Structure 1
Amino acid sequence: MTPRADILKDVVADLRIAASFVTILPVASSKPSGEGAIARATWALPAAGLLVGLAGALVYKVAIRVGLTPDIAALLALATTALITGALHEDGLADTADGLGGGRTRERKLEIMRDSRIGSYGVCVLILSFGLRWSALAAIARPWTVMLALCAAHAAARAGLPAFMSLVAPARPDGLSANAGAPPGRSVATSFAIGTLALALALGPGKALVALVLLSLAGLMLARLAIRQIGGQTGDILGAFEQVGEILILLVAAAFLHGGG
């Protein structure tokens, strides 16, 4: 097999790993998921997110085409993305809110975050997350612009995950994040480049810069909070990071692209 064929095989395998990491799609990888495989494949997380956003965008377009209002179409689009991901990131956001908000000690916070039950903090933050994203999509309204915003949000919200995983150590020695390992620098840089490109193409350079600044600030705040309260990051913290990213990008899109074509 030629070197080019080997590279292509590795790229496809990484895409499958990334898709299986953030969705419930049956995309088993032909590349063995040995030590470091998930960490190396994190460069492809924005590409996997792009597929999720595209699915939601297509549902939105079909809903509008059959005569449904933007409000209903936006809700259906969000339901589609949650279904494809198995509500993985929403679950992480809720667990993070319950753990950081409800626990008094580091050990108790981690225990709450591992509990499959949802508490009042989790319920409130999920309502806020869905409400903000739904309102943003409904405000944008136009199918083509909604498609761009959804694709950019799902790609760019995951683009910062490798950097977050690399810079913030796991809070415990086991769990989803710890088992994945720290992404190498090349994966971090590639993921960031893909996410930035998605934002620039969807929102334009100036608006993309605004979104990047907000994402960076949110990431720094969440990292500081996680380190102070539980000593690092977990899979739930990563899910919360993704959700916050989606919200911010869609709000930026709604603010600047409202009524756009």
Structure 2
Amino acid sequence: MEQQSSSEGAKNQSDETDYQAPKSGSTLKKQLNLLLIALSFFTRIPVPSWVEFDSEKLNQASRYFGVIGLLVGSLSAAVFWASQFVLPNGVAVILAMITGVLITGGFHEDGLADTADGFGGGWKVADKLRIMKDSRIGTYGTLALVLCLLLKWQLLVEIALYSPINAVIAIVVAHGLSRVLAGSIIFSGQYVTEDDGSKSKPLAQHQHINDLLILCLSGFVVLACLNGVIAFGLLLLLVLLRQVLIWGGNRQIGGYTGDTLGAAQQIAELVCYGAILVIGLH
């Protein structure tokens, strides 16, 4: 009996150990799952079939939007750095921009065009939302997209004239910080949609304070790698821009949509390039 009791005790202890051991592993797997959800949502990069998707996980995945931005920026910057050795800076910048569009599928650029069409062509909120979910692009969207891409190209070419490495840093920084800004709007804004038939993919509609803090942490890590002047300048500009974008979204449609977040990312990316060009990275 004592032997049996001892054996059962050992078994129970073993079972307890088996139950507790996966906790750290399961936490890491959960975070990896959230990271891959963010990756699949914002890029065309394939993810493993075991990744679990649902609306709550998508909300939590917003914490890694900045990390995905850094990945996209790093790949785009790598293309620029490699191509500028054999091609003019202007061509190298275009190749870097094409790389970013191919990786994301033009996800944010589409949001910018739809937002411009909706805000420019609609009078009532319902009209704006209806126009924004239309797959066709209008005059306002075309102008916004063309001018945004031209300005992005020109700013990066000017930065590269000072130093190609400055352009590399600018691409990575702007992609990362712009997605942090866009993702943080989810915490403060109200998600709005005309109906369930929207052409947009499902979007994170709520953000817990922990998700916001992790998201902002990725942005602060980027800023910490820059010198104090440019870091402070970028932080100040992006905080002000965030408030303006939230105010604009509330005024136009009463909150945000996936399209307005895409527009926010594109605008924030331009602001980052402009600030880096004016303030400099030295």
Q: 1:206 to 1:257 in 2, by over 3 A?
A: closer
Distance of 1:51 and 1:132 partners within structure 2: 23
The structural deviation recorded for 1:194 is 0.6
| Greater gyration radius | 2
Retained in 2: the 8 A contact 1:170–1:177? no
Distance of 1:30 and 1:181 partners within structure 2: 24
Distance of 2:278 and 2:94 partners within structure 1: 19
Q: 1:238 to 1:64 in 2, by over 3 A?
A: same
**Range 117-126 or range 27-36, more displaced:** 27-36
The structural deviation recorded for 1:179 is 4.6
**Range 241-250 or range 173-182, more displaced:** 173-182
Count residues in correspondence: 257
The structural deviation recorded for 1:34 is 2.3
Decide which of 189, 206, 214 is 2:213's aligned counterpart.
Answer: 189
Distance of 2:27 and 2:49 partners within structure 1: 15
- 2:204 maps to 1:180: yes
The structural deviation recorded for 1:29 is 6.3
Retained in 1: the 8 A contact 2:203–2:258? no
Retained in 2: the 8 A contact 1:50–1:152? yes
The structural deviation recorded for 1:224 is 1.3
* Residue deviations 1:84-141 (CA, integer Å, cap 9, x gap): 1100000000110110011111111111100111111111111221122111211121
In structure 1, the residue matched to 2:44 is 24
Q: 1:29 to 1:148 in 2, by over 3 A?
A: farther
Distance of 1:204 and 1:117 partners within structure 2: 43
In structure 2, the residue matched to 1:121 is 140
Aligned counterparts, 1:159-170, within 5 A: 159-170=180-191
In structure 1, the residue matched to 2:267 is 244
* Residue deviations 1:61-83 (CA, integer Å, cap 9, x gap): 11112x21111111111111011
In structure 2, the residue matched to 1:109 is 128
Retained in 2: the 8 A contact 1:59–1:77? yes
In structure 1, the residue matched to 2:247 is 224
Q: What fraction of aligned residue pairs are identical, expressed as a percent?
A: 35
Structure 2 unaligned runs (5+)? Answer: 1-20
Write the letter of the residue equivalent to 2:129. L
Retained in 2: the 8 A contact 1:215–1:245? yes
TM-score normalised over the length of structure 1: 0.92
In structure 2, the residue matched to 1:148 is 169
Distance of 2:106 and 2:157 partners within structure 1: 21
Retained in 2: the 8 A contact 1:36–1:181? no
Q: Which runs of 4+ in 1 moved over 6 A?
A: none
* Residue deviations 1:124-175 (CA, integer Å, cap 9, x gap): 1112211221112111213322221111111111112332112111122645
- 2:228 maps to 1:209: no
The structural deviation recorded for 1:181 is 2.4
Distance of 1:178 and 1:71 partners within structure 2: 36
TM-score normalised over the length of structure 2: 0.86
Q: 1:152 to 1:179 in 2, by over 3 A?
A: closer
Retained in 2: the 8 A contact 1:16–1:29? no
Aligned counterparts, 1:64-143, within 5 A: 64-65=84-85, 67-141=86-160, 142-143=163-164
SS at match of 1:107: helix
* Residue deviations 1:1-36 (CA, integer Å, cap 9, x gap): 433222221221111111111111112463421231
Distance of 1:137 and 1:95 partners within structure 2: 25
SS at match of 2:84: helix
Retained in 2: the 8 A contact 1:162–1:187? no
Structure 1 unaligned runs (5+)? Answer: none
Distance of 2:64 and 2:75 partners within structure 1: 17
